[in-house]
Structure 1
Amino acid sequence: MDLQGKVALITGGGRGLGVAITKRFVKEGARVCITGRHRETLEKVAKTLPKGSVHVCPGDVSRDEDARRMVEETVKFGGKLDVLVNNAASDVKGRITELDPADWRKVIETNLTGPFLLMHFAIPFMVKAGGGSVINIASLGGTRCLPACPAYNSSKAGLIMLSQQAALDYGPDKIRVNAVCPGGIDTELLDEMILPMAKALKTDKQGALDYFSKHVPLRRVSKPEEITGLCVYLASDESSFMTGA
């Protein structure tokens, strides 16, 4: 697979899966703009990659003006925008009666409103360029419930439907939109998901991992590299007839 000449915008590119996707895209020849809330975190990632291959753009994907700026800076950096990866996400655990309404709104705004805003501002540039690919990082939680994750599960289910809607509406403009739905991924962010789940299940970390893994046919969580290859495929011309997945 080849991403030579492609320009991509990857949200949440400062940690976890976002870092892995960024590094793989650059390895395959793309130039990438990465976003996140903290400039210093993004710059640490950029310093590990060839000079000129990565542009950092700190901001909050749930804010209209930040989302617009992220897209505009990507186009300024690369001269165009071929690929948008909506990877930024947040989560606050707790059953419905335990979840602060402000935390509910935060998760929905980051995980669902953010991708909407990025697509809202990015798709016109893609249409003008004759096509593009949007990759929305959804989740297993968008297809089935995980314990004590009402906001996260709801936001990811919404993102899957938003992806299908965009694929239907913008297919005639040669814009492909697909949702990737991984389960647990072995990154530094795994504890943020597992530890609150352990509390909800009244067990320890290993007990929560065992609970999670027993629902996975391979009985384990995934490695980032097992997700990035799919993202490269969806970003490349080899997936030119795949949309709405």
Structure 2
Amino acid sequence: MRLDGRTALVTGGGTGIGEAVAQRLVSEGARVCVVGRTAGPLDQLVASLPDGTAIAITADVSERGDAARAVAAAASFGNGALDILVNNAGIGPAGMIEDLDLDEWDQTLAVNLTGPMLTIRAALPFLRRSSAPSVVNVSSVAGRRAFPGMAAYCASKAGLIMLTQQAAVDYGSDGIRFNAVCPGWVRTPMSERDMDVVIDLHGGDTDTAFARVSRDTPLARVASPAEIASVVAFLASDDASFVTGEIAAVDGGSTLLDVSTLAFSDTAASPSPSV
């Protein structure tokens, strides 16, 4: 119960990584305000958690007013305090620079980069009141390495990494820690939809698609949302009290590899059965 008595705000909290983060934080003693644009999944998540441990707020944190309203609701739930902010909301439309719809570019940056900035700005007065304030931003391996045909997503996630480090420098004197996690492939409803592209190209089903995208990584499998949530919980806790500005890869080792060296290995010859 290392988060006992603390209050957290988790954006994009209805499904996938956000849902797992909310569940993990509650399991460690925190009270959690989950935020998302669709009420149904949020309400189902809150109903599944112990009474009094979570509330749901329907909001679009890329909108200034909604971000401030969500933060205020979380602080009210915490009796005026906010200890943990997890910026997880994100979208990822495909497209290269020359063919990406400009409205999608604007929306991707609004959700993935401007949204975290807005929630951080709204949360700062409350975080300063906390005895152990922590912000964890969910970026991506796509913020560290290019992903073919994902210009807006990669640019926004790279920006989120630098926003994390900038905030760690600017607000370290306030005792507020800022860190980011960079997941690789995680089995979520969103990534399962992404696998449709792999299936169209190579055949098979969702399981074989996940095996294909992970077969050349050191651990040769994709992550569960709970595995990402465990790292978020660590960074939010006092166990990481001297960690700030860290960009933690939670990717099974995928960003360790120079892909040009795979020709020297016989382990990349066939997909791993593990998914």
In the superposition, the TM-score normalised over structure 2's length comes to: 0.84
What is the deviation of 1:205? 6.3
Which has the greater radius of gyration? 2
Counterpart check, 1:83 vs 2:91: no
- Counterpart contact for 1:11–1:86, Cα < 8 Å: yes
Output the amino acid matched with 1:77. F
Stretches (4+) displaced over 6 A: none
* 1:168 match: secondary structure: helix
Equivalents in 2 of 1:215, 1:147: separation in Å?
A: 17
Match of 2:107 in 1: 106
What is the deviation of 1:192? 3.0
Match of 2:37 in 1: 37
Equivalents in 2 of 1:114, 1:204: separation in Å?
A: 37
Match of 2:227 in 1: 226
Counterpart check, 1:176 vs 2:177: yes
Match of 1:243 in 2: 244
What is the deviation of 1:129? 3.1
Deviates more, 1:119-128 or 1:136-145: 119-128
Equivalents in 2 of 1:205, 1:107: separation in Å?
A: 30
Q: What is the correspondence of 1:1-245 to structure 2 with a 5 Å cutoff?
A: 2-79=2-79, 80-196=81-197, 202-204=201-203, 209-210=210-211, 212-245=213-246
In the superposition, the TM-score normalised over structure 1's length comes to: 0.94
What is the deviation of 1:214? 3.8
Equivalents in 1 of 2:23, 2:108: separation in Å?
A: 26
Deviates more, 1:153-162 or 1:214-223: 214-223
Task: State the Cα deviation string for residues 190-216 of structure 1 (Å, max 9, x = none).
Answer: 1233334666xx434667545531452
Unaligned runs of 5+ in 1: none
* 2:107 match: secondary structure: helix
Task: State the Cα deviation string for residues 172-226 of structure 1 (Å, max 9, x = none).
Answer: 1000000100101012221233334666xx4346675455314522121111121
Unaligned runs of 5+ in 2: 247-275
Equivalents in 2 of 1:131, 1:19: separation in Å?
A: 23
How many residues are paired up?
Answer: 243
Equivalents in 2 of 1:59, 1:38: separation in Å?
A: 8
CA RMSD of aligned residues (A): 1.7
